[in-house]
Every structure is written in structure tokens, then in C-alpha cells.
Structure 1
């Protein structure tokens, strides 16, 4: 055992297992010990499945010893966001209404992860219904970099557990930024795949046409390894894409030389905090030094679409909660209830206007990707806010819309993104950026992330508890 065991990468663990230098049971027990020690402080887990995880790990020990190899996640301890259906644990989706709900089937992604040999340590906390805030009766996860700072929503537990070394990778979901925000606030690398690339069968919806499911890890290679296991068509989810899934790890070292990376300076820099702009420019220089061709571009008009995100989300969330709202309204937290009420008040004409604006933006973005391979942008317009500041933001809907500026448009368009650390702010908290690609370009995003991380070390920075 080495001192940095909890922060080894998935690809490192996989190699050590295959060379018989570590056993999954040893790593899983160490992870469970660390969870027992640290999670009472940071609240990343909703449910810890210690006994089951050890059974899975010991089975992996035996299989690997006999030469059975299920792939890069074999024996790797991971965490599942608590909107993934599991027959072996409650799936609450951050709500009180479903606190004791045990599904009769697993989410497709859960079955795929476990068939790939992953060890499920437990279910990770999340905001209520995957919206902006945690249920008032639930202890919210705390940022391991600094507990006074925002941890992001809605995949908050996924961000905390992965950053604190309480799992080696986790599942997140992204409707308006919920893979990207907690990846940004916790110094992680997250991939939001193309809409439909990963099955949503057995995943609690927030807003079905906006929801994306993807991996949150500590490197681009790890995220690529997880994505390769969970991606692909699913007969139980007719919205999944039929395109074959490439071996993302096989192409990951191909680099960015010759890739055309666009940047809209008005979009990415105007009205943005100077520390974010400085970090983004340095990331741009790094990508250029690696051989990428930087092109200045103009993003299709996005402002109106960002303003439409809350109304669109409200309509689809209201539909998703018809069975329990308003019949059990008193059991809802105020923010989710308010969103659902807004959804019930929307008119068909208003919904049609949003749909048309979405089509205009998506079409313009697809045309833009005829001239570039990837788009470079910040993840957030400001460094990570404190909890106090986030409370102030909550009272101002215009500030929330500003935070959604770099995330919501690409949920509307269904575009894949990769989010990565790009530096440290003056308060010693991580800064992040994202690359956006055309549909089904996850292999290119993973390559670009790996290239960037091959000559920078921001993704190796750890919170003080490390």
C-alpha cells in the first residue's frame, strides 16, 4: 500500500491489478475505511454499501487471479449518483418522498458498470430532484477544498466523494451544468456526453430532453475509461444513439495537433472575472503549444436561450413529478416546489417559443462545427463562490442565469463537453474550463483533455485533506 492509494487513477489501479501488485479487496477496504473516517464530515454518501462492495471486490480478486479480465473498471471502487435505480439500495433522487424507494430493476448504466467489474461503494448525495438545492432536511455535501465554498449542483456528492478520495470515479448527471459545476468546484474532470450517448433508462429525470448522464473523475483518461463502459445504444431507452462506441482509451494519446479549436472572445471573456479570463488564455496557449489551431469564431445567439432554461426545465420537471405533485406537495423543498409550480403555469405558446429558439441555436452551433473541431470556453463566469455568496445569488435570478451562461446552451443542443481544472484562484480554489464538441465527438474531447493534462498538473492538485 502506498500513501497516495486513494488518489491513484483508474488506469493506474487497473495496471496494478493486472500485474498482481494490488488486489481489489485491499483497495475497496481502504476506500471504505476512508469513507468511515471522512464522510461524516463531508456528507458525500447517501448510502454506503460496505458488505456488498467487499463481496464484489473479492469476486474481482478471484476473477483476476484466474485470468478473467472485464476491462479497465474491473475491481475499481466507484460511486453512483442517487438518481440511478438500484435493486440493492434505496434510490431517493435527493428527495424525501422517495427515501425508501427500492426499484425492481437497475439503471442500464448500473448494470453496465457492474458487468464491467466496477465495485459499487454506495449511492452519492445530490440536490433534491437534481435541481439547484438540497432538501432542507438533508445534510448537504461540503466541498473538501474548503467547506465554506459552493460544491456545485446537482451532482454534489459525486464531486465531493471523487475529490476527497472516497471513490475513484463517479456517475453524475447534467441538465443545466450538474456534471460541470461540481467538477469545476472540486477540481475534477467530467465528461457530459452527447444527449442519447448514455442511456437514461432507470435514471430519475429532472428534464428528460435536457438530461445527460456521464462520468466524473480525476483525469481525462479515467473519464474516458468510464464512458467507454456506460455508453451505447439501449433497447430500453429509445432515445439512445445507435452509433457504435469507440475504444476511447485506444485513441486517447493521439493529441491535438491539427485540431481546430474555436473561441468566441465576446462570449468567453466579456463580463467574465479576470482570474477566469487569465486562466482560459493560459489554457488556450497550452493547447496552441500542443499543435492545435486556434480560430476566433462567433457563437450563435445564446442569451435568449439561457433565459429559457428555467422555464423549459420547469415544464419537464412538472411532467416528471405528476405522480407526487401536488398530491404530496408538503414533502417537497421550496426550490423544487417553486420550479414545478412554474411548470404548471407555462402555456403551450411559451413552450413552442422555447422549442423554436432551441432549434435555432442548435442549428447554428452545428454549422459552426463545420469550421472547427472543438469550442473553448470557461465552465463558470466567476471563481467558485462561497456559500454565503451563493445564498445571495439565490435571491437574484439574473445571477443564476449568468452562471448558466456556459452550461445551459450545450444542454439544449445536446453537445458533448469535457470540463477540466485550469489553475488556482487567489483563494486557493480550483479554476476550470470546458471544451465543447459536435455530437459524438467524445473521443476527440478525451484526446484533447489527455493532451492538456499531459503537460499540466492542475488535475493532480488535491484538496487539503489529501
Structure 2
């Protein structure tokens, strides 16, 4: 049951083959069994979940079915405010913070009938490393390998079948990295497609909130329920929210998919390149048209990510830093301190690089509908090597993620195979702004011909 798709589970709930109470009891039991080892959850809201499940069951029995998330258990990254549980942001400074309201995206998902299992771990304030007070979650495929930053608990809990879907955030890759290394599907929406009201900031103009799930179709269902304009977040887009779920199962014949073979291969692990080339063949067999393109100015955009992220992070911490510097982990503190090393000219040049890359990308999307790229340059890093990635210049590390946060472009990251060590590989599709429907359509088509997303990690329960 715990690895069932949302679509299949929703049908079973709607037709009363199974009740939300049974599903929720099963998931809470699985969390109780697995999470002491994996450590994905910060808080399990068991009593509230059971109350919600009983309410959902009563509504469905009365013929008041709300839709495909009604009675479906989910969890949320612990940067999202909840008035029913603490929101720590993975920090010491907020370890006792109890918000008096709930983030818009959670309110909308609960209004759609979803059941909240709890809050899951994040790296400190959604940056690279966990605070020293926090024990990082374990990758369910291999405890000796990275579980992703920053939505670590999100990726682990979905991969381990301890939730049917979850919400993460992405500023430089934090939906895509956990999706890639845990073998799940992550959908980063267009910047502004989902509300950031009630979310701790890392860097406001780069932060995106989106779903991680077991499939593109499931991610589309979740995104549809949470997306749209929010009066409390004036940066949200007012464009109507399409029926993303309806895109699943639609043909991709004639869809133009761009591929830049130099960009996807130079300095990239051959296993990742092979996964992308294999994905291109699958998409082509479904009727998509592959088009050679050139992704321009990506290197400059990747380098300029840090001169924008660091000052925005520093601004978000003005009330606490440096006054409470001793309560910060060294990695986040270094990022905030780094802000002082950038001149106003550095920031101006970074902003120009952002605009130039975005302009080149917009021009490219006049030739193609989607762009196919890897999610990472490397295979899943061993924990012993993670420090080499987390410190200092990370422009190569974020080659396939950071530039698309700079441009605010939507993307979907999906399982694309396994390496020789049995660890997940991933591929990524990028779309023009508000192209989430095409991502769900292409992702669902890809996942109908492949079964990588159905593979499950070697857990004892």
C-alpha cells in the first residue's frame, strides 16, 4: 500500500475499497517502524492525522468527495509554517518556534483533503548542511551515501514509503538533488507558481516550493492543489492553474525536446550522460522530436548564483546574525559572512548574468518545448566526500540546477536508472515559464515506458 501511486490510492479511497483511516494507520505504523533508523521526520502529528482521516472517511461516506488527495497522507519540509506543530527550519535559533498560522501551500493541500503525517527534516535554513544539532536522515538506498540537500527528509520519506508525497523547496537544487539521490520524482514549479507565504527564506528571489512524489502524475496532482495566486504573497503569478493531472497519459508525439550534448557531457559522470542519452531514446520512441540546441551563458549564471544567494540569505537573517552567530552551523554562517565579500558591483554583474541567461533560455524555448539535461554532474556522493562539495565555489556542482533557479524555470527530475553500485541515476526536463503541464505530460509518458520510478530501496519493512 505504501508504494501505491496517488492515482491508484485515490481510486481505492473514492470507491471505498480502503478507508482513509486504514491508510493513515498503516502509514503511521510504517513511520514508527522505519523512521527510528532513517531519521526523516522532525515531528509526527499522529493524533491530528487520525482526526483528519476520520473526518475524510465521514465525508466520503456522505458522498462529499473532494478529489484525488482526499484521504491521502502527506508530509511537509520543516521550513513551512504550521500552527499545529513547531517549525524549526533545521536550526537552533528556531528550535522552539511555534507559528500562529499555516503556510498557504499546506492549507491548500489540506483543503483538498490531504492528511498531514508530520514535518520532515531540512538542512539548516534550507542551505547545504544540517545543523550540528540535527542528525541527517539516511539515504534508504545506502546509509553511506548522501540523502540530498536541502529537502533531505522530504526525499528520504518519499523513497522509503513513509508518505505518498511531500513538499520541498529549491533555491539551488533542493528539490532536484533529493529527488535524484533518493530515486523519486520532483517537480520544481515556475518561480511564483506556488506561494511562499509561511516559508522560511533561504534566498527569496531564488526560492521555489514544489512536490516530491513517486511519479510525474502524482507530482502533477499535488501541484494542481497547491498552485495559484495568493493575496498574502504578492510575488505569486495570477495565471490560471491548468489541470495538470489531465496531462498524464497524453501523447508527446511532435513534442520538441532540446539536447545540448556538450553541456550534458563535459565534466559529467559517464553514467549520468548515458542515462540522459537513454532517456532521449525513450522520448524519441514516443514520438518526441530531438533537436540539437546550445544552452548559452549557463556557466556565468552558475557562478553568479552565489553572489545573489549569499546577500539574500544575509538579509533574511538580519534579526539573528551575527547576534546569535554561535547558534549557527559553520556552513550557513560562512554563506552569510560571504555576503560581505561581494561588492555592489559584483551583485549587479550577477543580476545581469541572470537576465542574460534567462534571455538566452527564452530564445531557445522558441525552438523547442522542453530541454533534456542531467540532474547532477556526479553519481550519488559518498558521505565521506560530501564536505568537498558543500564548501566554497559550487558552480560546477549546481551546473544543472542553479541556473534554472536564476531563471525561475520549471523542471521535473525523474529516476533514470541505476549505477554499477545500485544507486539511483536521474534525468531532468526543463520547460519555459508555466510549462508544468508539458513536464507532467512528458514525464508521465517517459514513466509509462520505464519502471525506474517503481523501484524501491532495500528496506526491511
TM exceeding 0.5? yes
Q: Aligned-pair distance for 1:251?
A: 2.4
1:431 and 2:434 matched: no
Q: Aligned-pair distance for 1:70?
A: 1.3
CA distance in 1: counterparts of 2:174 and 2:17, whole angstroms? 36
TM-score, normalised to structure 1, is 0.98
Structure 1: which 5+ runs fail to align?
A: none
Match of 2:4 among 5, 8, 12: 8
Which residue does the alignment assign to 1:128?
A: 124
Match of 1:254 among 241, 250, 256: 250
**SS of corresponding position for 1:323:** coil
Alignment of 1:117-266 (within 5 A): 117-266=113-262
CA distance in 1: counterparts of 2:381 and 2:314, whole angstroms? 29
Deviations 1:142-193 (A, max 9, x none): 1001110111100000001010010000000000000000000000001000
CA distance in 2: counterparts of 1:50 and 1:313, whole angstroms? 36
Alignment of 1:332-347 (within 5 A): 332-347=328-343
Report the more deviating stretch, 344-353 or 428-437.
344-353
Q: Aligned-pair distance for 1:391?
A: 2.6
Match of 1:453 among 435, 447, 456: 447
Q: Aligned-pair distance for 1:401?
A: 2.3
Q: Aligned-pair distance for 1:292?
A: 0.2
**RMSD of aligned Cα (Å):** 0.9
**SS of corresponding position for 2:283:** helix
Residues 224 and 446 of structure 1 are in contact (CA less than 8 Å); yes or no, is this contact kept in structure 2? yes
Deviations 1:77-125 (A, max 9, x none): 0011001110000011111111111111111001101101110000010
Which residue does the alignment assign to 1:113?
A: 109
Match of 1:72 among 65, 68, 74: 68
Deviations 1:239-265 (A, max 9, x none): 000000011112221121100000011
TM-score, normalised to structure 2, is 0.99
Residues 255 and 450 of structure 1 are in contact (CA less than 8 Å); yes or no, is this contact kept in structure 2? no
Which residue does the alignment assign to 1:382?
A: 378
CA distance in 2: counterparts of 1:390 and 1:139, whole angstroms? 15
Q: Aligned-pair distance for 1:69?
A: 1.2
Match of 2:268 among 250, 266, 272: 272
CA distance in 2: counterparts of 1:427 and 1:310, whole angstroms? 32
Q: Aligned-pair distance for 1:312?
A: 1.3
Which residue does the alignment assign to 1:463?
A: 457
Q: Aligned-pair distance for 1:343?
A: 1.4
Report the more deviating stretch, 68-77 or 154-163.
68-77
Match of 2:351 among 352, 355, 377: 355
Q: Aligned-pair distance for 1:72?
A: 1.0
Match of 1:405 among 394, 399, 405: 399
CA distance in 1: counterparts of 2:390 and 2:240, whole angstroms? 42
Which residue does the alignment assign to 1:31?
A: 27
Q: Aligned-pair distance for 1:308?
A: 1.6
1:57 and 2:49 matched: no
Residues 299 and 395 of structure 2 are in contact (CA less than 8 Å); yes or no, is this contact kept in structure 1? no
Which residue does the alignment assign to 1:420?
A: 414
**SS of corresponding position for 2:396:** helix
Structure 2: which 5+ runs fail to align?
A: none
1:95 and 2:98 matched: no
Match of 2:289 among 288, 293, 298: 293
CA distance in 2: counterparts of 1:392 and 1:301, whole angstroms? 25
Which residue does the alignment assign to 1:309?
A: 305
Residues 74 and 117 of structure 2 are in contact (CA less than 8 Å); yes or no, is this contact kept in structure 1? yes
Which residue does the alignment assign to 2:319?
A: 323
Q: Aligned-pair distance for 1:68?
A: 0.7
Q: Aligned-pair distance for 1:382?
A: 1.3
Residues 255 and 451 of structure 1 are in contact (CA less than 8 Å); yes or no, is this contact kept in structure 2? yes
**SS of corresponding position for 1:254:** coil
Q: Aligned-pair distance for 1:394?
A: 3.5
Deviations 1:204-262 (A, max 9, x none): 11000000000000000100000000000001100000000011112221121100000
**SS of corresponding position for 1:7:** coil
Q: Aligned-pair distance for 1:457?
A: 0.3
Residues 259 and 292 of structure 2 are in contact (CA less than 8 Å); yes or no, is this contact kept in structure 1? yes
1:366 and 2:362 matched: yes
**SS of corresponding position for 2:397:** helix
